Structure 1
Amino acid sequence: MIQVRFVLRELRYGGAQALTFILCVALSIATLTALNSFRSDVHRSLLNDAQKLHGGDVIIHSHYPISEPLEQAVRDIQSRAGADLARVYGFNSVVRPEVADGSLFVNIMAVAPGYPLYGSVDLASGRPFGEVLQAGAVVVAPEVLSRLSLRIGDRLRIGTAVLTIVDTIDYDPSRPVSIFSLGPRIFTSTGDLEQMGLLGVGSRSHYEILLRLPEPEQARKIAETLSRVATAGQERVETATTARSQVKRFFDNMLFFLSFISIFTLLLSGIGMQSSLSALLRQKQYTIAIGKTVGATYRFLLLHYLALTMLLGLIGAIAGVLAGLIIKSTFPLLFGEIIPAELMLGVTIGDLVEGMLIGLLVVVLFSSLPLYRIAAIRPVALLRLDLTGNVGKPATYLLAALVVVFLALLVVRQLEDVQTGLVFMLGCLGFIAIIFLLTSLVLRLLRALPVGNLAMRQAFRSLFRPGNATRSIIVTLASALSVLLTIFLLEFNLVASFITSYPKDAPNLFSLDIQRGQQEAFFAAVGKEAELFPVVRGRLLSINGEAIDYERENQRRSDSLAREFNLTYRDTLLDDEIIVRGERLFEASRPASDVVEVSVLDTIAEIGDIDLGDRLVFSIQGLPMTAEVTSIRSRTKSKLYPFFYFVFAEEVLAAAPHTFFAALHLERDAIDETITRIVTALPNVSTLNVADTVVRLGELIDRLARVITFFSLFSIVAGCLILIGSVLATRLERIRDCAYYKIVGGTTRFVLSITVYENLLLGMTSSILAAAVAIVSSWLICSAWFNIAFRLHGGALVIMALTTCAAVVGIGLISSLSIVRQKPVTFLYRQNG
């Protein structure tokens, strides 16, 4: 039976150790609770309402007009199953006022009557969308009016049509967030498509058929039926639950990285929990030894201190859940326009229960080893004045294995994918293992380092004090700091490569969908001749006879082989291209064959494991074409310059339907005027102001970096708590050393200098290791992932090192003040009973 008075008394005199333990528990679940609640919001508002997001139960998507066999199959489904149908045509273009100056790059959705099949497009006027959007009318996002200085009733030129603005969009279910498109949304009627003239040969548009079924549970079966007649690699048939979207991919990726940071924080907080509980139990060792002397069993003591631990854990879990809700309430301010207010649906009972359960599980897991150590305390230790006890290594290893298993299950639960979760867990363990090994190496070097100064020598000795958790502190701080510094260096290099150091000769205006016969008119509109790149749309079907697994490719978080590629033809290299494998772009002489030649860019070659001599089969306008790889190219400039993954000889693709693409470099103040001239002369040509896009990209990168940094700071706090727990865990030894120093003539200043040196060593070691890992990590990511030059930010390294050292020294001093103030006589009195 648990003695409640005993537990409450121990809680009352728990002191700083109990408070540190509570803070560690709260920290371990605060970010996890906030993210899990946010994930629930995303699932409830986006993923669980996928029909509104995608517009139907079955979605047919293509970049070409839907093939006749698939059209016939859709008609059969309509007649047999009574399905409702809506057609959607999407493309980007430049619009301009009928009479005023100015132009704007927008995303246009031409929809048929009946759209949307699920949900509703809410208009500012409150009128029904279907009644407002008629032929000759256009509904626009509010930004269109503000950026073009227009009002309701004004007329807008879209392609060769002039349409009247009749209303503005208040909410669009297909676009709950607006950061994924280059321009604001405009809705037009399919009745105006022909008049607009924007769906020409090779135009960058997509065709969709949306189906709403009387029995939505039949969606998967019907999608499989339609997939069998769809053109492979060109037409995609999906259900609302399996369809991909930029919104889904963005939130999946963002939650993936934030979950990594939150689980990392949980692990570090668990170490802090273990350290602070060890300190608490060391403070109670006399009580435990006396209890055993008067007959208390291990089971009795374990039960009572387990009750104490769970009580502290419950307080910490409640505090953590409340802190998580507070953190979540800051998301709209933290994320800004990335997360619309509509996504924040509040907190459910399930969110609270899940947070409490995870918190209590964490407490049980990380408290096991300190509680187990109670068995090592012997009553005879009272006579020997030695209360330290050791537990066997098997128990330590077993508990460590349980921690790893628990974290692996938690990772799988957070990432919602077993394979990805296990790979992620192995990556985390590998990351920590590398820092652990580096820390062990540095500590070994420090231990062997000869030191002349007495205070410094004692500080070195203090680092290796039993129970001091020096290695844990350095590993924790170095891990958290390296993540933060890597994020900063990546942001710095991305901004430096694409925004701040935008190359002077880099294109800042892209013109798309220039048709054959429009070259001279285009040159006249821009006022000079420019290089035109032919663009032929095609898909990769197979590599060396092995068909592309589109489902697997679509799961990639980076570029994939499943998408539609822009193919081109030429016989020379671009200025920023070099051949890395092969002798020349194409072979000098080649006998006539059904197999053509193709040159492949190294980045896509790595993704597909493509090498010289490999056979690739493409689908171009539905026709198969086999090509042999004759060279592999690489690039010497950033991705701001035009590039193509696959290049063919001119005679191979010159006869295929294609358009032209132009990349222009203009003076910034001439861009808007040039766009207006191009759109006036060639309404079908889409222009993209890259200079403006780069600015918005920089703002997005900065916002995302701040979000990740915000969550990474919790890992730093966990490291600080481990530092405090370490000081508390070695409190008795520190008091003893302090007393001996003073007995032999040492001053308080001398004792304080030892503390400063010790914590300075911790801060400097952690900073150096973090800087080394961050530099290597960010260099690898910049080189291998982003393919940009790596720039080192020396100022950031110095500021990080100074800030870390100051913080560690400050926390160490504050935690040690009560120890330094101890009088030697008090220690001697206690030692003599």
Structure 2
Amino acid sequence: MKHLTTIWRQARRSSRQALLFVLCVALALTTLTAFSGFARSIALALAKDARNLHAADIVVRSYAPVAPALTQAIDRLAAQGAVQVARIYELSSVVRATDESASLFSRLKVVEPGYPFYGQVSLASGRPFGQVLAPGTAIVEQTLLDRTGLRVGDALKVGYTTLTIVDGVIAEPDRPLELFAFGPRVFIHAADLKAMGLMATGSRIRRLVLLKVSVPTQVDAVAATLKQANPDDTTRIDTYLTARSAVKRFLDNFLFFLKLVGLFILIVAGLGIQSTLTALFNEKRTTIAVMKAVGAGGRFITVHFLLLIALLGAVGSGLGMASGVAVQFGLAGILAPFLPEGLQLSIAWRGIAEAVGLGAAVVILFSLLPLYRLKALRPVQIFNRQRQEAASRWPGILFGLVTFCFFLVLVLWHMRDIRFGITFVGAIAAMILAAAGLAQLALGTIRRLPIRHLALRQAVRGLFRRGNATRAVLITLTVSLTVIFGDLLIERNLNATFVRSFPDDMPDAYFIDIQRGQTEAFVSLVGRSVAFYPIVRARVMAINGAVIDHGRESRQRRDNLARVFNLTYRETLLDDETLIQGDSLFRSDWDEPQVSVMDTVLDMRPMRIGDRIRFSIQGVPLTARIASIRTRGNRALSPFFYFVFPTAVLEKAPQTLFAALKVPTGELGRLQNRIVARLPNISVIDMSQTLGTLARLMSRLARILRLFSLFSIAAGILILISAVFATRNERMLESVYYKILGAGQRFVLSVFALENLIIGLLGGSLALCMAQAGAWWICVEKFDIAYRPFVPLSLALIAVTTLLTIAVGLFASRSIMAKKPVVFLREQQNG
């Protein structure tokens, strides 16, 4: 009991450092509790509402007509009463008013009676969906009515038929989460599918078969039966538990992103824990020396301060859990537009318990090095006020390796992707090492500079005073600011490329699903020559005989070979394309089918000239040999294709045509009305609306990232304050000496302000250099866009960082500067 009283008394006497340690622990626990708890809460909520999210027990998905064998198996089960079936067709088309005064690109959902089996489609009238939607009718989103001026009861042309708008849709249970939603939803009865005339060969149509199993316990058995009957591995068959809806995919990716951000913040908070604990032990040097002088052993001192760490850690954990739960519900509010309507989130106590255990491990890990260094503290060094002997570097190196392994295991545990885990941890380690190297180089350079200005010279000397944490502060600030600066620069470059600086010669309207026999009519409506691009939809089935596992590929978080590709054919390169391998697009000395591959595909799977790729074009196999590899310039919005074939190979394959045009401002609406009035199967995508959606999405996600990055800045601020407190006695002694020698309060203030100015300038400048390099690499190498450094913005970021550092440093030093020499000397004499 007395021991605990002593520990509590020491914590109170070092209240500043103790508070900083508590705040660093709270920061780590806030991050862990918020992200882990939110992830588990989302998982539980989605699992609870899984049937509603898919509106069925079993979902069959395909972009091609469902194989006859599978269709027969479904029909047999339905005839036996084992399942109820509802087929759905999802496609996009331009709908229009009967007088052709308005038209709008919309997302059509053609459904059979029975949909939805679970959940409900909420209508503006409140009536049951199944009773309202009938042949010859349409149910539309309010957005369509607002933009076309139509009302319930008006007629609406869809394809080659006319339907009557009978109600408005508010929500649907299985609505896909489409970040780039290009148009409002329109529900149509399946009886009108043929009359619309939009099911042309080659059109992009998503087919779904929803099944409700009569005996709930037989869901897996029925799904297994259908999988056995399915001859096409491109057709997905999932139960409501195994299917990944668009909501699930988005949330999986977003939570994956949150985990990356959370782990990064955890590392920075850990560095803050280590720094503040080092500062706390520096403040306790006299106490430790006395304890050793009266016979206390190393084990007693280690246990003593472990108990102190446990006490402060418990307080910080409590604060972190409370704030983490608050942040968790804040995340739910931020993500509300992306979550299914009515999704109920709750506190996931298992996630919180996991966060507390992980937080304790982080506190222990980052406390090891400061505790180890207590052994090197000798009483004689303190009493004689001698400089401590230089500590060995090996403990620090060993600690770094242990930390690296710890976070590698942590990443693999959360990500379950060994390759990505190693890459992520390696990237973070490389960033920290780069920041450490640049900080050491910058500090070494400054230390050797001949400075004549007295206040500036004293400020530079202050960076290297005994017990300083300048290097730790600089590294933490640099790493944290690198992430924030890099995110901002990438967002600005994407915005400048796709939104603000739309090239004058770039097409701003895409016309899709054009049929071969419609080209002359289309050209006459447009009134000028048009370049048509054939599109043949296919899947990659094998490379050099190695079969592609589409299920495994689809689980990757990058572009992969599982998706449907748009193939095309031509004999020449596009204006922005160049060959990087091969002398010509196709070879004249090969008789077999050939294909030219975009270099982007090589990121999905290594390939080279001579390799053979087997495609499936609506069930028909085609094997082609790679004749060349292409790349493209920085024209991200121009048409491009991953796979290009000779004309003779694909000319007779099922296909549609695609055209990209530059339309004068204000003319697109009238042109769209003319085209869809005569050729209603053609869909028009207005790129200005698409880019506006992209800009809003980037802005929203960037705000979320910057919000979380502020946690790492908070850790940097805590480290900066702890550095001031750790060298409190040295700073106070310097201040007293300045005043005794005749310097005024203004000189002392200028020295401390200049010291923090140097830290802010160095941290901001180093972070900007690293951020510019990283943003350039991502924009040029990954996004394939021209890079802009945004010099005014960059200078403003450095200025803001410097001002913030000065303000925080002076705030932490205000009691030091206010100390009067006579009071300090009397305290020293009495002490």
| TM superposition score normalised by structure 2 | 0.93
The aligned amino acid for 1:93 is S
Moved more, 39-48 or 218-227: 218-227
Q: How far did 1:508 drift? A: 1.4
Deviation at 1:29, TM superposition (A): 2.3
Q: Match of 1:804?
A: 801
Question: Could you say which residue in structure 2 is the equivalent of 1:459?
Answer: 459
The equivalent residue for 1:313 is 313
* Aligned 8 A contact 2:609 2:626 in 1: yes
The letter for the 2-side match of 1:546 is A
Q: Shift of residue 795 of structure 1?
A: 1.0
Do 1:332 and 1:340's aligned partners in 2 also have CA atoms closer than 8 Å?
Answer: no
What's the counterpart of residue 779 of structure 2?
A: 782
With over 3 angstroms needed to count, the CA separation of the structure-2 counterparts of 1:299 and 1:636, relative to structure 1, is closer
Alignment of 1:357-368 (within 5 A): 357-368=357-368
Q: Quick one: distance in 2 between partners of 1:539 and 1:201?
A: 16
SS in structure 2 of the partner of residue 517 of structure 1: helix
User: For residue 613 of structure 1, what is the aligned residue in structure 2?
Assistant: 610
1:596 aligns with 2:587: no
* Structure 1 equivalent of residue 732 of structure 2: 735
Against the structure 1 CA distance between its residues 307 and 590, is the aligned structure 2 distance closer, same or farther, given a 3 Å change threshold? closer
User: How do 1:112-123 residues align onto structure 2 when only pairs under 5 Å count?
Assistant: 112-123=112-123
Deviation at 1:218, TM superposition (A): 5.7
Percent identity at matched positions? 42
CA distance in 1, matches of 2:652, 2:805: 69
Q: What secondary structure is seen at the aligned counterpart in 1 of 2:187?
A: strand
Q: Distance in 2 between matches of 1:306 and 1:621?
A: 67
1:281-306 deviations in whole A, cap 9, x for unaligned? Answer: 33333344444555656555555543
2:503 maps to which residue? 503
Relative to structure 2, which stretch is displaced further, 290-299 or 471-480?
Answer: 290-299
Write the deviation string for residues 370-407 of structure 1: whole angstroms up to 9, x where unpaired: 34555555555564346968877665556555544443
Q: 1:526 and 2:526 equivalent?
A: yes
Q: Is the contact made by 1:373 and 1:390 (CA closer than 8 Å) also made in structure 2?
A: no
| Whole-angstrom CA distance in 1 between matches of 2:755 and 2:217 | 66
8 A Cα contact 2:100 2:677, kept in partner: no
Alpha-carbon separation, structure 2, partners of 1:582 and 1:305: 68
The answer to which of 774-783 and 140-149 deviates more is 140-149
The question of whether the paired residues in 2 share the 8 Å contact of 1:541 and 1:617 is answered with: yes
How many residues are treated as equivalent by the alignment? 830
Alignment of 1:704-715 (within 5 A): 704-715=701-712
Please say if residues 202 and 658 of structure 1, whose CA atoms lie closer than 8 Å, have aligned partners that are also in contact: yes
Among 634, 643, 647, the alignment partner of 2:631 is 634
Residue 680 of structure 1, CA deviation: 1.1
Match of 2:191 in 1: 191
Q: Counterpart of 2:626 in 1: which secondary structure?
A: strand
CA–CA distance in structure 1, aligned partners of residues 466 and 239 of structure 2: 60
Equivalent runs, 1:715-754 vs 2, <5 Å: 715-754=712-751
Q: What do you get for the CA RMSD once the two structures are aligned?
A: 2.8
| Structure 1 residues 150 and 405, CA gap change in structure 2 (3 angstroms) | same
**C-alpha distance in 2 between matches for 1:784 and 1:33:** 35
2:690 corresponds to? 693
The reply on whether 1:143 has 2:143 as its aligned counterpart is: yes
Post-superposition Cα deviations, 1:428-464, rounded to whole Å, max 9, x if no partner, equal 2222222222222333333333333343333333222
Corresponding residue for residue 29 of structure 1? 29
Equivalent residue of 2:667, what SS?
helix
Give yes or no for contact 2:509–2:660 (8 Å, CA) kept in 1.
Answer: yes
1:644 and 2:641 matched: yes
Q: Distance in 1 between matches of 2:341 and 2:173?
A: 14
Instruction: Write the deviation string for residues 544-600 of structure 1: whole angstroms up to 9, x where unpaired.
Output: 22222323321332322221111112222222222332222223x446x4x212222
- The equivalent of 1:482 in structure 2 is 482
* CA distance in 2 between partners of 1:728 and 1:509 (Å): 61
Q: Distance in 2 between matches of 1:375 and 1:216?
A: 65
* Matching of residues 91-106 of structure 1 within 5 Å: 91-99=91-99, 101-106=101-106
Q: CA deviation at 1:750?
A: 3.4
> Are the equivalent residues in 2 in contact too, given 1:201–1:658 (CA < 8 A)?
yes
Q: In the aligned structure 1, how far is the partner of 2:411 from the partner of 2:296?
A: 41
* Paired letter, 1:273: I
| Alpha-carbon offset, residue 182 of structure 1 | 1.8
Displacement of 1:773: 1.0
Taking a change above 3 Å as real, the CA distance of residues 710 and 285 of structure 1, as seen in their structure-2 partners, is same
Distance in 2, matches of 1:138 and 1:773, equals 55
Shift in alpha-carbon separation, 1:550–1:178, aligned structure 2, 3 A: closer
- How far is the alpha carbon of 1:54 from its aligned partner? 3.0
Amino acid at match of 2:504: K
Could you tell me whether the CA contact under 8 Å between 1:97 and 1:156 is conserved in 2?
yes
Letter aligned with residue 121 of structure 2: V
Task: State the alpha-carbon separation in 1 of the partners of residues 734 and 218 from structure 2.
Answer: 76
Q: Which moved more, 1:626-635 or 1:365-374?
A: 365-374
Residue 638 of structure 1 aligns to a residue in which SS? coil
1:236 to 1:177, Cα distance in 2 relative to 1, 3 A: closer
Matching of residue 667 in structure 1 with residue 649 in structure 2: no
SS in structure 2 opposite 1:518?
helix
Equivalent residues of 1:88, 1:208 under 8 A apart: yes
Distance 2:450 2:251 in 1: 53
Q: Secondary structure at the match of 2:260?
A: helix
The Cα shift of 1:199 comes to: 0.9
Greater displacement, 313-322 / 187-196: 313-322
**By how many angstroms is 1:682 displaced?**
1.2
Give, in angstroms, the shift of residue 681 of structure 1.
Answer: 0.8
Tell me the secondary structure at the aligned position of residue 625 of structure 1.
strand
Partner of 2:272: 272
Residue 60 of structure 1 deviates from its aligned partner by 2.1
Report the more deviating stretch, 247-256 or 700-709: 247-256
Cα-to-partner distance string for 1:214-240 (whole Å, 9 max, x where unaligned): 566665565455445534454233343
Amino acid of the structure 2 residue aligned with 1:469: A
Equivalent positions of 1:29-108 (< 5 A) are 29-46=29-46, 49-78=49-78, 82-99=82-99, 101-108=101-108
Question: Runs of 5+ in structure 1 lacking a partner?
Answer: none
Residues 1:125 and 2:125 aligned together: yes
How far off is 1:325 after superposition?
A: 3.3
Distance 1:342 1:396 in 2: 51
Task: State how far apart, in whole Å, the 2-side matches of 1:776 and 1:326 are.
Answer: 36
Counterpart in the other structure of 1:823: 820
Q: 1:332 to 1:50 in 2, by over 3 A?
A: closer
Alignment check: 8 A CA contact 2:171 2:341 kept: no
CA gap of 1:334–1:389, structure 2 versus 1, over 3 A, is farther
Q: Which amino acid aligns with 1:627?
A: A
Q: Distance in 2 between matches of 1:801 and 1:211?
A: 59
* 8 Å contact from structure 2 (residues 321, 352) kept in 1: yes
How much does 1:798 deviate?
Answer: 0.2
Q: Select between 668-677 and 451-460 the one with higher mean Cα deviation.
A: 451-460
User: What is the alpha-carbon distance in structure 2 between the residues aligned to residue 361 and residue 341 of structure 1?
Assistant: 38
